[in-house]
Structure 1
Amino acid sequence: MKKSSSHLPAFQHFILMYKKQSLLIFISVYCCFCTLAGFADQPLSPIWSLEFSPDGKTLAVGKYQWVELWDLETQRVIHVYEPHVGDVRCLKFSATDKASPLRLYAGSGIPAQSGEIRIWDVASEELIKSFEIHADTVESIALSPNNKTLLTASMDELSAVIDINLLENTEELIDKQAKWLTQHVGRVLCTLYHPNGTYFVTGSEDKTIKVWNPETFNVLVNFDANDDAVYSLAYSVDENVIVSGSADNAVRTWRVAPAGGDEEIPVSQNSSDMTGALVREYNGHQGAVYSVDAAFVSLRQNNQAAMIASGSADTSVIIWNIRSGNRFRTFDESTDAVYAVKFSPDGRFVAAGGRDGKVRLWNLRRRALTHEF
C-alpha cells in the first residue's frame, strides 16, 4: 500500500516538501518567463477601427488607447500614436491635398464620461490638437472633402459639426463654437460626408438615417426603414448610393435625389424638395453588421464592379455586388466579431479587424487571405 507523506519519517518528509516547493518555484519562474517572452496566450486588444492612408501604403489601426500605423509591404508597425483615452473607435485621414500636410484624426473616449478627438501630423508624428467634445465616446468621425469641417457622432446622442480652421486658431472652448445636431433620439453611431460635400449623413440607435444640408443643418431626408440600430455608413461613388449596416443583420443601400429628378443634389437644396428611397437590402449575415465600406473593384481585365464589404458579429466578411445584390465572396478566417472593414484606395484589397485583435487583408482578385498581423 502506498504511504501518504504524513506517515514518512521526518527526514524523508522534509526532502519531499523541499522537492514540492522547488517544483512550485520552478513553475512560477517559468510562467513569468513565458509571459515576458510573449509565449503566454495573452488576449489581444480588440481592433475597433481601420483606415488606409490615401496612397494605400499604410494602414492605421485603432485599439485600446493607441493607434498603430502599419507598413503593408513589410507588415511592420512604423509608428504608434499614444496615449488615447479609452478605445480608439474611429479614424480618418485628411483628404489628399498637396498644399496641406497629411493628418490623422482619431476619436475615442470613456463610456458615460468623455469623448475625445486627437489630430496628428503624419509626417512629423506630432500631436497637433487634443480636445474633449462629447460626454460619451466618439463612435465615428467624418471630414468634408475640402478638409474644412469635422463631423462627429457620439454615444451621448449628439453630433457636432466643427470648423477646423476655428479649431486650430482659437482658444475658445470647442463645444462653444461647434454646431450641435440634436434630432436623433438615440446614440449616434456613424457619420458620412458625400464625396462632393453636397450633404452629410448620420445613423443612430434610433433606427434612422438622417441626411443633412451642410449649410442650413436642416434634415433633407429621414430614412426609417431599418429594424434596429444603424452601426455603419459608407458611400458608393459609382452607384450614387448610401450604404448602411445595421443591428438587424442587414446591409442596405439608399438613394437621395431632388424630387422628380435623378441629378445630384445642390448644396442649397431646400428640404421640402428632397426625396429618398431604399434601393436594395442584402441579407446573408447571421449577426449584427458592425461595419460597411464601398469601392469600385477591378477583379480582372474587363471585369469591374461596384462592391460592398460588410463585417459582422457572425465573424464573417461578405463582399457584395451592389447592382446585382449577389454575394461575390465570403471570408471567414476571423475567429470573432468583425468591428471594422475597409477597402484599399485602389480596390484591390479589403482589410478587417475585430474582437480577436488581428488585422487581415484579402486580395479580392485572388479571393484569398494575404496578410495577417
Structure 2
Amino acid sequence: MSLICAISNEIPDVPVISPSSGAIFERRLIEKYLQDNGVDPISGKDLTVEELIEIKTPPVLKPKPPSATSIPAILKMMQDEWDVLMLHAFTQRQQLQTARQELSHALYQHDAACRVIARLNKEVTAAREALATLKPQSGIGSMQTVIQQPTMAPEAPGFASQPVEQAGMSDEVIQKLQDKATVLTQERKKKGKTVPEELVSAEKLRGFLTLSSHPGLHSASVPGILALDINSSDNSKILTGGNDKNATIFNKDTEQVVAILKGHTKKVTKVIYHPDENTVITGSPDSSIRIWNVPTSQTTLLLRCHEGPVTGLSLHPTGDYILSTSQDKYWAFSDIRTGRLLTKNLDSSERGLTAAQFHPDGLIFGTGTEDAQVLIWDLKEQSNVANFPGHIGEISAISFSENGYYLATAAADSCVKLWDLRKLKNFKTIQLEDGYEVKDLCFDQSGTYLAIAGTDIRVYLCKQWTELKVFNDHTAAATGVKFGRHAQWLASTSMDRTLKLYGIE
C-alpha cells in the first residue's frame, strides 16, 4: 500500500503489468523496486525487469492547459465545478418539491376516494336492510321504487345528481328570498351614503402597481385563464377557471396552490367562490354546473339543468341558490344544497343567453343575450320586467353595483353602458377604443369603483365616471377582474396564463 501511495504522488510514467500478480505499475517505480528487492511487491514472488509487460495506451485526449498549473487558474476551475454542483442541487430541490406536491395531492385524492367508498358501502347496507324489511305483499312495484331512488350520478362516485323535473318555486322558497331582500335593503339604508373608512382612496388607487404575477396556476399546454373570483370572507383565496378544464384555488398570501379541481370535460368559463363556506361553483361548455368541496377537491353536486354551454353563473345572496344561463336560451334557478332544479324559463324571444347576474337584493336579476339585449327579470314571478336595448353585438358582461341603483353592461361594440334601475334608462356610456373587447366588469363592494377587463385593465371612479388607472401588464386579452376587500388590492386574469395582483407597494 505504501508503494501505491507513493505511485499516486509521482509524475505519471509508462504503465506495465506484472505477470506474477497481474497488478499494474509505473515502469520507473517498479524497476527501482525490483533493483532493491527482486520480487513482485504484491505477490512476493521472484520477478525481473524483462518479465514486465508494457501496456500500450493512447495519448491523453484532453490534457490540462498550461494555465491550469497556476493557483488562480486552479481556483477558478474549482469555483466553476462548485457552481455546477450548486445548480444541480437547486434543480434537485425543485424536483423534490414538485414530487412532494404531487404526492400530497394524490394522498388527498386517495383519502377522498376512501371516504366515498365508505359512504357508499354504508348506503348499500342501509338499502339492503330496507329491502329485507319490506312486507311480502308490497310486491315488485315497491321494490322498484326503492331501487330507483338514485344516490349518485353515473359520471363518478359520490355525486348527487340533479333531477330533470322542476321542483317549482314553493311558498317557503319565495318567503326565504323576500326575507333576505328585506334584511339587505335595511342594511343598505343604514349605510346611507357613507363609505367604509378602510376603503382605499382614489389617489392611492392611482398609485397601484403590479405586485406579483403567477403563471403556474393552469396548464401551459392549453394556455388561458377564463374566469376569476375571490373569497370575500377569506380575502386571500382566489379562484380561477382555465382553458385546461380545471379550476384552481390559489392563496395569495402564501403564494401556494390550495386545490386543483378536476372533473369538467371542457374548459371552465364561470367560477364562484361561496362567501360563507369552503365551497366553489363552476360552469362549463360541457353543459354542467359543479359544486365542489375545497378541502377534498371533490364534486359534491353535479347539476345538469341545461342542454347547451353554460354562459353565466350568479349566487343568490342567501348562499343557497344558483342562477345559470346557457346558449340553450334558458335561465335556471337551482338549489345548491339538494341539487334540485326549482325553475327553468325560456327567453321570451328565444335568444341564446350569454351572461347572468343577481341584483344585490336577490329579487331581480339581469341576463344578456346574443343579440345585444339586456333583460331584467323578477325572480318570484319569473317574468321579464324590463329591457335595456342599445348595445351592438353579443352581451359579454353585466354587473350590478352594491348601491342597488346602477347596472353596468358591456358588449362587442367596445363600450360600457351604465343604467339607472330607478328610471330604467342609460345615463352614461363609456366609449372605449375601436376593437376593445370587454370580457368582465366588476364594482367594488362599496360601489365606489368600476373595473373593466379586456384589452387591458381599467379602473373608473363611479358617479364622476373618470378613469383612474390603466394596467397594461398582460400580454394577451384580460378575461377577469375582481376587487379585494375595501378595494385595497385588485386581481386580474388573462389568456396569457397569468394571475396578476395589483396594490400599493
Aligned partner of residue 241 in structure 2, secondary structure: strand
Corresponding residue of 2:488: none
Amino acid at match of 1:109: N
1:179–1:165 Cα change, 3 Å: same
Cα distance, 1:216 vs structure 2: 2.2
How far apart, in 2, do the equivalents of 1:363 and 1:325 lie?
Answer: 22
Amino acid at match of 1:240: L
Corresponding residue of 2:353: 230
Is the 2:402–2:445 contact (alpha carbons within 8 Å) kept by the matching residues of 1? no
1:281–1:180 Cα change, 3 Å: same
Cα distance, 1:57 vs structure 2: 5.7
- Output one character per residue of 1:280-327: Cα deviation in whole Å (capped at 9) or x when no partner: 111110111100000144xxxxxxx61111111011100111232111
How far apart, in 2, do the equivalents of 1:359 and 1:341 lie?
Answer: 10
How far apart, in 2, do the equivalents of 1:105 and 1:334 lie?
Answer: 30
How far apart, in 1, do the equivalents of 2:401 and 2:251 lie?
Answer: 27
Matched, 1:343 2:443: yes
Structure 1 counterpart of 2:256, from 116, 120, 126: 126
Corresponding residue of 1:300: none
Structure 2 counterpart of 1:95, from 202, 208, 232: 232
Structure 1 counterpart of 2:373, from 242, 250, 261: 250
Amino acid at match of 2:387: E
Amino acid at match of 1:362: Y
Larger helix proportion of the pair: 2
- Output one character per residue of 1:253-283: Cα deviation in whole Å (capped at 9) or x when no partner: 21222xxxxxxxxxxxxxxxxx522121111
Corresponding residue of 1:290: 396
Larger strand proportion of the pair: 1
How far apart, in 2, do the equivalents of 1:312 and 1:183 lie?
Answer: 26
Amino acid at match of 1:256: L
Cα distance, 1:94 vs structure 2: 0.6
Cα distance, 1:251 vs structure 2: 1.1
Amino acid at match of 1:105: L
- Output one character per residue of 1:61-89: Cα deviation in whole Å (capped at 9) or x when no partner: xxxxxxxxxx9442311111222232211
Corresponding residue of 1:365: 463
Amino acid at match of 1:283: P
CA RMSD of aligned residues (A): 2.2
> What are the equivalent positions in structure 2 for 1:64-79 lying under 5 Å apart?
72-79=205-212
- Output one character per residue of 1:81-101: Cα deviation in whole Å (capped at 9) or x when no partner: 2222322111111122xxx56
How far apart, in 2, do the equivalents of 1:56 and 1:92 lie?
Answer: 19
Cα distance, 1:102 vs structure 2: 2.3
Is the 1:250–1:289 contact (alpha carbons within 8 Å) kept by the matching residues of 2? yes
How far apart, in 2, do the equivalents of 1:348 and 1:101 lie?
Answer: 19
> What are the equivalent positions in structure 2 for 1:1-373 lying under 5 Å apart?
72-83=205-216, 84-85=218-219, 86-96=223-233, 100=234, 102-110=236-244, 115-167=245-297, 174=298, 177-225=299-347, 227-238=350-361, 240-257=363-380, 275-297=381-403, 306-335=405-434, 336-354=436-454, 357-373=455-471
Aligned length: 266
Any stretches of 5+ residues in structure 2 without a counterpart? 1-197, 472-505
**Structure 1 length as normaliser, TM-score?**
0.66
Amino acid at match of 1:129: A
Point out the structure with max Rg over C-alpha. 2
Amino acid at match of 1:323: R
Is the 2:301–2:336 contact (alpha carbons within 8 Å) kept by the matching residues of 1? no
Cα distance, 1:239 vs structure 2: 6.9
Corresponding residue of 1:62: none
How far apart, in 1, do the equivalents of 2:406 and 2:248 lie?
Answer: 31
Any stretches of 5+ residues in structure 1 without a counterpart? 1-54, 59-70, 168-173, 258-274, 298-304
1:120–1:309 Cα change, 3 Å: same
